[in-house]
């Protein structure tokens, strides 16, 4: 049975996590933030492509003796289509509404056949001579899928996704989960050993308690099963913290809490564009409704937790879940912040769950939260504050002066648990170096940090102004640094002429003190000898920000012995050159790391100057 196999996974991974963390004794108890760059590719019934042995997973699913969710299914029925129509106002994108509904009605399946998403789109494509579906903005497209989705209920129980963490192909993904749980276990042990106010029940618990937050997702319920199982399988006692933007709106809607919480579904449709979630996830919707009506219970769970982990999705949804209209913390964020400051909780996040951490209203300058944008576009158009294009708005020319790929940011920051700089994710893989550099240049922030996929930036401190950072996992962290003069005198229309860039990788450690960055490289890395330059080194033609081309180029440059690099950004018919050069104090170190029979080469560098004089 699958459940039995899960239990066999629990004890050993937790022991391994604690053993791994014993290697960082000097600062281990101070680790408070665990910021992952997304891309934690995990073996599960809904994502078998990430499994080491798909055949074995299929056998396990068949042997489970109970239904397992391997896909979402959809029905083209008049009832579902009418539900979609009822949530699409008649006067909203009317040029698309009528033909879309007509197309759906033409494609109705006589017997209400269940379709996978691929089969659904194929069925619609056969009837779609005008490519109507491809013209839908994201809000209408995903709302359509919501309306057509089939609730998967078997014998009164919802059919759920199943995670097989030990069968995950990537050892780095498994490491990410285990290391976070290991840090949570350290918090549990520290609280148990201390004389602080810890109740006897918590002292007796043999496992770290972790809460998972799915508020970053458009569909708050979709990833709940996934995260509960993933963290359970590495030895934690896990609960879902059912807060999202709809719940936070209910808390602010007036004095009648019970009545307001009864309106969560309509709030969700308004904010997220998500509908029919109560039918698809009845158990989770009930749990969320109860939590909405009893916010003090959420606070109590946070007070008892050793770790809390924020999922990926859209950081703007996350902010709306934890900030009131006046940008003050709601009661849940206050509790998280209080426990974090008391060093009783490690806070983790991935993708949007990392991006949202930036910000600090108490800093001498406000740290913004990045919300959107592509690097190549940011090289030619200025960043814009406190606006956000609707995803897919360019399809209907409804972006209202914004391009769908414009660089945008929230000037008041995110939830403000990371007060050290701007945070960005999926970094090297999506070529986001340009957008992070340009946002830093156009805002007062002093530092910016871009975290690669399956990589964690671990942050600890005893004193908040003397943080220590450590890099865990597959890739690295790209750091952009302004000088104090540039930061103080920033011009939003003309960025400083140059900034420093650093790229630090696995096991590198750095500190920030008095706004100065100091690095201690991993002891298994060696200095790159610059005896002679590599004449064979060439920069690829075209846009340097295409996928991971920037990082691949910088990795070769790091090992080449060269000291200057000319790069080009290309967008539409525009191109722009910029330059990276070694400076006083630049260092290049490389080494090979063996991780679970996988060998990976790394090259870290510090203090490369990025020069770019262009104004917007």
The mean-pLDDT minimum among 349-363, 391-405, 417-431 falls in 391-405
pLDDT single digits (tens) 216-270: 999 999 999 999 999 999 999 999 999 999 999 999 999 999 999 999 999 999 9
pLDDT single digits (tens) 265-292: 999 999 999 999 999 999 999 999 999 9
Enumerate the domain spans of the chain: 1-45+168-353, 78-149, 517-611
Fill in the DSSP letter of residue 204: H
Q: Facing residues of 456 across strands?
A: 36, 472
Identify the residue whose tokens are 């879940």. Answer: 321
Q: At 583, is the secondary structure helix, strand, or coil?
A: strand
Three-state DSSP at 49 gives helix
Structure-block tokens of residue 230? 């993933």
Does domain 1-45+168-353 fall under CATH 1.10.8? My reply is no
User: What's the pLDDT tens digit per position in 202-211?
Assistant: 555 689 999 9
Residue 571 and residue 407: Cα distance in Å, rounded? 14
Tens-place pLDDT, residues 578-609: 999 999 999 999 999 987 778 999 999 999 99
Minimal CA–CA distance to 139: which of 178, 65, 87?
87
C-alpha torsion sign, points 266, 271, 276, 278: negative
pLDDT value for 552: 96
Give residue 506's pLDDT. 98
Q: Which region holds residue 350: left if phi is over 0, alpha if psi is between -120 and 50, else beta?
A: beta
- pLDDT of residue 393 exceeding 80: no
What would the pLDDT profile of 77-125 be if each residue is shown by its tens digit? Answer: 999 999 999 999 999 999 999 999 999 999 997 778 999 999 999 999 9
Mean pLDDT of the region 469-475? 97
Sign of CA pseudo-dihedral 350, 354, 356, 357: positive
Instruction: List the Cα angle 360/364/368 in 5-degree steps.
Output: 40
Q: Please tell me the pTM assigned to this model.
A: 0.92
On whether the CB atoms of residues 439 and 407 are closer than 8 A, the answer is yes
Q: Record the tokens describing residue 177, joined without a space.
A: 């989960």
User: pLDDT at position 242, please?
Assistant: 98
Q: What residues does 410 pair with on adjacent strands?
A: 369
DSSP assignment of 261-297 equals HTTHHHHHHHHH---SHHHHSHHHHHHHHHHHH-HHH
pLDDT in the model for residue 20? 46
d(CA 120, CA 123): 5
pLDDT in tens, 21-38: 544 443 447 999 999 999
Contact 238, 232 (CB under 8 A): yes
């Amino acid at each position: 049975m699958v459940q039995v196999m899960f239990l066999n996974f629990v004890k050993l991974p937790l022991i391994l996590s604690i053993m791994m963390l014993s290697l960082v004794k000097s600062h281990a108890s101070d680790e408070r933030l665990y910021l992952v760059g997304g891309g934690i590719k995990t073996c599960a019934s809904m994502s078998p492509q990430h499994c080491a042995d798909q055949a074995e997973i299929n056998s396990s699913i068949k042997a489970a003796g109970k239904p397992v969710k391997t896909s979402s299914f959809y029905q083209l029925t008049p009832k579902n289509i009418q539900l979609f129509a009822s949530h699409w106002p008649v006067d909203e994108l009317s040029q698309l509404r009528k033909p879309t509904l007509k197309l759906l009605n033409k494609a109705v399946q006589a017997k209400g056949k269940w379709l996978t998403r691929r089969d659904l789109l194929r069925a619609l494509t056969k009837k779609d001579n005008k490519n109507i579906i491809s013209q839908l903005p994201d809000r209408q497209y995903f709302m359509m899928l919501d309306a057509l989705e089939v609730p998967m209920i078997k014998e009164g129980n919802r059919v759920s996704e199943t995670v097989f963490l030990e069968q995950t192909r990537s050892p780095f993904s498994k490491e990410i989960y285990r290391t976070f749980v290991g840090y949570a276990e350290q918090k549990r042990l520290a609280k148990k050993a201390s004389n602080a106010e810890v109740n006897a029940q918590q002292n007796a618990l043999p496992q770290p308690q972790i809460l998972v937050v799915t508020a970053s997702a458009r569909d708050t319920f979709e990833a709940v099963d996934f995260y509960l199982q993933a963290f359970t399988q590495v030895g934690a006692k896990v609960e879902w913290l059912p807060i999202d933007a709809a719940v936070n709106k209910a808390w602010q809607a007036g004095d009648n809490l019970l009545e307001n919480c009864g309106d969560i579904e309509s709030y969700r449709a308004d904010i997220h564009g998500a509908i029919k979630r109560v039918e698809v996830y009845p158990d989770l919707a009930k749990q969320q409704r109860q939590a909405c009506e009893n916010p003090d219970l959420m606070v109590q769970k946070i007070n008892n937790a050793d770790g809390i982990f924020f999922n990926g999705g859209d950081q703007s949804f996350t902010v709306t879940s934890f900030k009131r209209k006046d940008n003050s913390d709601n009661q849940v964020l206050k509790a998280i912040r209080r426990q974090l400051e008391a060093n009783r909780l490690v806070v983790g996040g991935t993708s949007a769950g990392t991006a949202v951490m930036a910000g600090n209203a108490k800093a001498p300058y406000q740290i913004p939260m990045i919300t959107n944008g592509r690097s190549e576009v940011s090289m030619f158009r200025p960043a814009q504050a406190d606006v956000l294009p609707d995803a897919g708005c360019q399809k209907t020319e409804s972006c209202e002066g914004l391009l769908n790929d414009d660089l945008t940011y929230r000037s008041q920051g995110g939830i403000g648990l990371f007060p050290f700089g701007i945070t960005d994710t999926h970094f090297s893989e999506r070529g986001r170096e340009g957008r992070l550099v340009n946002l830093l240049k156009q805002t007062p922030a002093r530092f910016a940090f871009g975290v690669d996929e399956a990589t964690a930036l671990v942050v600890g401190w005893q004193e908040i102004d003397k943080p220590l950072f450590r890099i865990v996992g597959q890739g690295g962290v790209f750091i952009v640094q302004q000088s104090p003069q540039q930061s103080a005198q920033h011009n939003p229309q003309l960025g400083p002429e140059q900034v420093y860039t650093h790229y630090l990788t696995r096991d590198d450690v750095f500190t920030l003190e008095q706004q100065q960055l100091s690095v201690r490289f991993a002891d298994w890395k060696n200095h790159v000898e610059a005896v002679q330059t590599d004449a064979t080194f060439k920069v690829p033609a075209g846009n340097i920000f295409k996928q991971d081309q920037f990082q691949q180029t910088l990795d070769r440059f790091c090992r080449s012995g060269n000291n200057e690099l000319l790069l080009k950004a290309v967008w539409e018919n525009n191109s722009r050159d910029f330059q990276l050069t070694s400076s006083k104090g630049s260092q290049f170190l490389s080494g090979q790391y063996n991780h679970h029979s996988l060998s990976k080469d790394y090259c870290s560098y510090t203090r490369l100057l990025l020069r770019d004089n262009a104004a917007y």
